[in-house]
A and B are shown apart, each in its own frame.
Chain A
Amino acid sequence: GESVGLHLPTLSVQEGDNSIINCAYSNSASDYFIWYKQESGKGPQFIIDIRSNMDKRQGQRVTVLLNKTVKHLSLQIAATQPGDSAVYFCAEKEMGPGAQKLVFGQGTRLTINP
């Protein structure tokens, strides 16, 4: 199940099950969104991105859904594996010329149970 801890929300799923991680973003002007995976003691690792002119994008075992109306983003991981255990962050930024800053969401710790 999903619970909210002192800092990071956590999600525990059985190996092989699908998992859905949610994220609410705040900036209406954001038009580019990225999901990152972060393992303990390492930098964020790119998983998948989506632009605001799309509402769904699929990768290998992962799908990102974007609902701009309610400013909500989700990451679906199919057939979870032990290696999927990590903290997942959504990030948002505004497109355009130059390198706009990337703002990270709270993050969710995903634990895969054997």
Chain B
Amino acid sequence: GAVVSQHPSRVICKSGTSVKIECRSLDFQATTMFWYRQFPKQSLMLMATSNEGSKATYEQGVEKDKFLINHASLTLSTLTVTSAHPEDSSFYICSASRFGASGNTIYFGEGSWLTVV
């Protein structure tokens, strides 16, 4: 079964509103999670690294004030798209690293489709 869960899987919002996407690690603690964005027929683009208890690290070109990331607990990171516009419509995917004896394993969520109308 899934070890990283995203919610909602699909969301439609009006232009100018904000929408929050959750990423949860289900049976492990994740001090670091990653947020990706994927436009149709394109690859996954890393947006930011979400760090539990501290500020997220954003990739170049990603507006931190538009894509707010909160990692308040060891099992939950949230991505809030503020003042959404149609061009923000995309597939948003999170991943979490699970540390084990053999190193760390990366698990991906099932993604969240955002449509801004």
Contact = CB atoms under 8 A, between A and B. Distances in A.
Interface of A: 5-8, 34, 36, 41-46, 89, 95, 98-99, 101-107
Given A99-B97, A102-B34, A102-B106, A42 B111 contact: yes
Contacts of A99: 31-32, 34, 49, 97, 99, 104, 106
Given A6-B41, A44-B93, A89-B43, A101 B111 contact: no
A34 B36 CA distance: 16
A7 to B, nearest CB: 4
B46 interface: yes
A81 B107 CA distance: 25
B54 interface: no
B106 A34 contact: yes
Interface string B4-27: 001000000000000000000000
B100 to A, nearest CB: 12
Contacts of B108: 36, 43-45
A104 B41 contact: no
Interface of chain B: mostly helix, strand, loop or mixed = strand
Interface string B80-117: 00000000000101010101000110101111010000
Contact of B41 (A7, A42, A46, A95): A7
B46 A101 contact: yes
B44 interface: yes
A51 to B, nearest CB: 9
A106 B43 contact: yes
B42 interface: yes
Contact of A101 (B41, B49, B93, B110): B49
Interface centre among A5, A46, A101, A106 (most CB of B within 10 A): A101
A98 B93 CA distance: 20
Most buried by B among A6, A98, A99, A106: A99
